[in-house]
């Protein structure tokens, strides 16, 4: 009998899936149980429509940026309670916020902001700025004008891209048309690296993490495009950044497609999955790509029917792939066979990328 109880307890623990957190219309963060494929809880956002979610480096907190009044809410992962919330907008000042990232202590957010001032007879739209948003004081405590950057980046402002923060909090990595390393204290440029982040633009708006599936706080691994200086041939490959030393290595894999969804990595860090998109409109074709991260080579690909707009994700155990966004459904695929398994109906349209936790 004792063995049976132990066996039942173990099997129950093994069958338990992860938890997904997903922003949804009109003002909810949905909590989804992976094992059931259902919404188990709805967390209400009093500041409005959640635009993007970002997990803290210690994975204990989720930062939510909301759209209606440039708001922020902080969710405690353990209790699913809101621990902090505020809005930046005032009756005369509004902000657009992009590409934000929390510092290692979770006290401030670094972001690109554009201020919109309501004058007596017009709105004045300010220049994009790098900003530090203090979560305790609940306001922007420092802003610095952004330098103009070549088009092609994403994440707001001049298209400089989203941020990552080094583990010691001293440097910001801005992933856009190039990788720019900035001092976190004054946003002065330290270094520029000739690699372009490859990813679907919509994923990097707001506070959405660039490569959140990778849990190593000292290293970021993602798919980047590289263009040689002779014939400008674009290839995509894996780049590994050491966020402490600012060193990186790049392994080319193949010709760069029109668009490539961000890399999501299995918990054992052996496999990574991405979606490539070629063609436009009715000619759009999508392909799942399984990348062997041990050898940095393509392991398998398979064409999949994709939505016109979508986000891409992976389950907590790395066995399922998710295609979602632009609607209320999550399409679930097997990560080994790339076959469609199920469609989960959430009843609410989703926004931005979701956060996956074991």
Partner 1 sequence: MKHLRPVNKKAQRIDDLVTAAGEDVVALQNQNPAQRPHIPMGCTLAFSPGWEVDSAGGTAGLCQPVERDIYDCYVTCFWPAQVPDHLNNYPDWASKCASATKDWRHLDLVFP
Residue 201 binds partner 1, judged by CB under 8 A: yes
Residue 284 binds partner 1, judged by CB under 8 A: yes
Instruction: Name which of 66 and 166 has its Cβ closer to partner 1.
Output: 66
Residue 282 binds partner 1, judged by CB under 8 A: yes
Q: Which residues, in sequence order, are CB contacts of 211 under 8 Å at separation 6+? A: 164, 220, 221, 222, 262, 263
Site for partner 1 in 71-90 (CB under 8 A): none
Total residues interacting with partner 1, rule: CB under 8 A: 40
User: Residue 155: which region, alpha, beta or left (left: phi > 0; alpha: psi -120 to 50)?
Assistant: left
Residue 226 binds partner 1, judged by CB under 8 A: no
Residue 49 binds partner 1, judged by CB under 8 A: yes
Among 22, 177, 202, 316, binds partner 1 (CB under 8 A): 202
What is the rounded CA–CA span in Å between residue 47 and residue 98? 17
What is the rounded CA–CA span in Å between residue 307 and residue 261? 13
Stretch that binds partner 1, among 13-21, 46-54, 101-109, 286-294 (CB under 8 A): 46-54
Angstrom distances, CA of residue 270 to CA of 284, 292, 295, 330, 358: 29, 6, 9, 25, 18
Residue 178 binds partner 1, judged by CB under 8 A: no
Stretch that binds partner 1, among 21-29, 185-193, 209-217, 238-246 (CB under 8 A): 21-29
Q: Which two tokens stand for residue 80?
A: 């699913």
Q: Count H helices and E strands in the chain, helices first.
A: 1, 30
**DSSP 8-state symbol, 263:** P
Whether a cis peptide bond, with omega within 30° of 0, leads into 81 is no
Residue 12 binds partner 1, judged by CB under 8 A: no
Residues that bind partner 1 (CB under 8 A): 24-28, 48-49, 51, 67-69, 94, 96, 116, 118, 123, 201-202, 205, 230-234, 255, 280-284, 307-309, 326-328, 347-349, 351
């Amino acid at each position: 009998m004792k063995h049976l109880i132990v066996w039942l307890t173990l099997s129950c623990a093994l069958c338990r899936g992860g938890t997904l957190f997903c922003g949804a219309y009109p003002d909810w963060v949905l909590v989804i149980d992976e094992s059931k494929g259902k919404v188990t809880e709805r967390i209400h956002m009093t500041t409005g429509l959640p635009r993007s979610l970002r997990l803290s480096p210690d994975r204990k907190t989720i930062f939510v940026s909301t759209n209606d009044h440039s708001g922020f809410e902080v969710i405690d992962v353990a209790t699913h309670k809101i621990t902090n919330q505020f809005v930046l907008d005032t009756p005369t000042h509004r902000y657009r916020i992009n590409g934000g990232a929390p510092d290692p202590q979770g006290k401030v957010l670094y972001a690109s902001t554009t201020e919109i001032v309501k004058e007596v007879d017009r709105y004045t739209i300010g220049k994009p700025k790098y900003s530090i948003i203090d979560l305790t004081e609940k306001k922007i405590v420092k802003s610095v004008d952004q330098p103009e950057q070549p088009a092609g980046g994403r994440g707001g402002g001049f298209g400089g891209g989203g941020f990552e923060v080094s583990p010691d909090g001293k440097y910001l990595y801005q992933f856009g048309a190039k990788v720019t390393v900035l001092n976190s204290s004054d946003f002065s440029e330290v270094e520029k690296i000739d690699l372009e982040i490859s990813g679907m633009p919509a994923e990097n708006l707001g506070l959405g993490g660039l490569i959140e599936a990778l849990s190593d706080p000292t290293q970021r691994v993602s798919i980047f495009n590289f263009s040689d200086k002779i014939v400008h041939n674009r290839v995509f490959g894996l780049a590994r950044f050491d966020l402490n030393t600012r060193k990186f290595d790049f392994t080319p894999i193949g010709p760069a497609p029109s668009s490539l969804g961000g890399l999501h990595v299995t918990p054992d860090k052996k496999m990574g999955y991405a979606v490539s998109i070629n063609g436009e409109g009715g000619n759009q074709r999508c392909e799942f790509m399984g990348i062997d991260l041990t050898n940095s080579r393509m392991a398998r690909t398979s064409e999949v029917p994709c939505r016109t707009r979508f986000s891409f994700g992976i389950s907590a155990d790395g066995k399922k792939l998710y295609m979602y966004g632009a609607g209320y459904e999550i399409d679930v695929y097997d990560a080994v066979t790339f076959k469609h398994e199920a469609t989960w109906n959430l009843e609410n349209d989703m926004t931005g990328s979701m956060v996956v936790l074991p």
